[in-house]
Structure 1
Amino acid sequence: MENQDTPKLENQICFPLYVISKEVTGMYRPFLEELDITYPQYLVMMVLWENEGLTVNQIGEKLFLDSGTLTPLLKRLELKSYLERKRKKEDERVVEVFLTEVGRDLQKLACSIPGKMAEKLSLSEDDLLGLKATVDKILNIIENKK
């Protein structure tokens, strides 16, 4: 006899979210390989394209990453000459991150990625906007409970 209290995978919201995250991230791979960056590096670059000169902590807050995860990403991007890290003069414990010219040029190449992904997913703009709104709502609920 089956235990009715046992959670079933098919009834869980966490499992399809996990699979979608993993699979969609994988769908980005061929586009990002053309730019010689990984998906987490792409996230960092998007934050910097929107707001250059952020501190490492500010980038971490936007991406929900701690500095132990973020620092190696930044170092690899710096080795590729996409960004540079500078210690703040007023407080040398604080590191600010700036795009290089190469990093700014990369932005131009990355502009086609969202459209390519939308095409690959074959969802309407309304479907994508609805999904984004629902996911944002869940994320806000999670953040407000912390």
Structure 2
Amino acid sequence: MTEDDLLKLDNQLCHRFYAVSNAFTRAYRPLLKELDITYPQYLVMLALWETQPLAISALVDKCRIDAGALTLILKKLQQKNLIAIIPSDNDRRVKQVMLTETGVSAKAQAVAIPKQLLCQIQNLNMSEIQQLTTLIDKLYCELTADNNKT
């Protein structure tokens, strides 16, 4: 590969991930419309439907969302009455995020979303999806390894 080839857009792995990320966001938009949430808000809700309460720092780690961006997402979810943010019983400086009754009941609406999205991915079988997931996780670990050392 020549130096010029290194700078071709079609040769950039990062560009493919950027394009796929945008495509996922667009694919989820109509599926999340009934819940009136965005894709990043959906990620937070998934984490909370799995485990709650969660400290904000745990949500940062679990969702892999920047703390500043997560703060804005949490404010929006709070305004929609899907979550509540409360001080921890053990340490008042630590804020816990919990689902409200509305947030808990939204899970029933959301349960169909993963299947609906998979229906849009027809050229990959489950084995390929699992392999892709493993490779993406491996790549994420590689790219964040330096951040984990500091």
User: Do they fold alike, i.e. is TM over 0.5?
Assistant: yes
1:143 maps to 2:144: yes
TM-score scaled by structure 1? 0.91
CA distance in 1 between partners of 2:128 and 2:116 (Å): 16
SS of the residue corresponding to residue 90 of structure 1 reads coil
Tell me by how many angstroms 1:141 deviates.
Answer: 1.7
- Where does residue 32 of structure 1 map in the other structure? 32
Question: After superposition, where does 1:3-42 map in structure 2 within 5 Å?
Answer: 4-6=2-4, 7-42=7-42
CA distance in 2 between partners of 1:68 and 1:9 (Å): 30
CA distance in 2 between partners of 1:24 and 1:89 (Å): 38
Amino acid at match of 1:95: K
- Where does residue 121 of structure 1 map in the other structure? 121
Higher-helix-fraction structure:
2
CA distance in 2 between partners of 1:124 and 1:87 (Å): 44
Tell me by how many angstroms 1:64 deviates.
Answer: 2.2
CA distance in 2 between partners of 1:60 and 1:102 (Å): 23
- Where does residue 131 of structure 2 map in the other structure? 130
Tell me by how many angstroms 1:91 deviates.
Answer: 2.2
SS of the residue corresponding to residue 68 of structure 2 reads helix
SS of the residue corresponding to residue 81 of structure 2 reads coil
- Quote the RMSD (CA, aligned, Å): 1.3
SS of the residue corresponding to residue 65 of structure 2 reads coil
Q: Cα deviations across residues 62-108 of structure 1 (Å, max 9, x unaligned)?
A: 12223321112111111111111101233222100111111111111
Unmatched tracts of structure 2, length 5 or more:
none
The count of aligned residue pairs is 143
Percent of aligned pairs sharing the same letter: 36
CA distance in 2 between partners of 1:114 and 1:105 (Å): 17
